[in-house]
Amino acid sequence: MQTEAVYSSDLKFNLEIWKRELKFHMSELEMFQEKLDEIAGREDIDKSSLELEGFQNRILIERDAIGKLLHRCRAKLGNLHSADHYKNIDGQLQYEKRSLYDDLKHYIKLHYDFKEEIMDFFSKWL
């Protein structure tokens, strides 16, 4: 993804890949939530209930972030829908793509940091 998208068809491809990755992260969060619910139902959870609640709050925050990023991807795809897919994209679309790319890159880093933390938590309880 380091190479700049030169054509609108390339940008459309990137947006579709990003949408799929975000949807995958959403499904991971659903699985994490199910496991947290399972752990919360145990009798011996009192000592880690604050940590568990923290993870549940972070899942809510991530779901919201994914929703916003997906909305931006869909909006960008809508802007590209009427464009000729083999003409160079203009500077504004390229600039907007870069901003979205930076935000997605930042989100993905945060998601994998969160995933590492929650997997450590699960290893203590599962």
User: Which is higher by pLDDT, 84 or 107?
Assistant: 107
108: exposed, middle or buried (Cβ count in 10 Å: 0-12, 13-18, 19+) = middle
Is residue 66 predicted with pLDDT exceeding 80? Answer: yes
Q: What is the pLDDT of residue 3?
A: 46
> How far apart are alpha carbons 58 and 65 in whole angstroms?
10
| Torsional class of 46: left (φ above 0), alpha (ψ -120 to 50), beta (otherwise) | alpha
User: Which is higher by pLDDT, 117 or 126?
Assistant: 117
Q: What is the pLDDT of residue 5?
A: 45
Q: 7: which residues sit within 8 A by CB, 6+ positions away? A: 85, 86, 87, 88, 89
Asked which of 18-27, 43-52, 91-100 is least confident by mean pLDDT, the reply is 91-100
> How far apart are alpha carbons 92 and 94 in whole angstroms?
5
pLDDT in tens, 41-53: 887 777 678 899 9
> How far apart are alpha carbons 107 and 104 in whole angstroms?
5
Mean pLDDT of 96-116: 90
> How far apart are alpha carbons 16 and 63 in whole angstroms?
19
- φ, ψ at 94 (rounded to 5°): -65, -45
Is residue 90 predicted with pLDDT exceeding 60? Answer: no
User: Which is higher by pLDDT, 124 or 93?
Assistant: 124
Assess contact for 118 and 55: CB atoms under 8 A: yes
Asked which of 26-30, 77-81, 95-99, 100-104 is least confident by mean pLDDT, the reply is 95-99
Pair of tokens at residue 63? 């779901």
Q: What is the pLDDT of residue 44?
A: 75
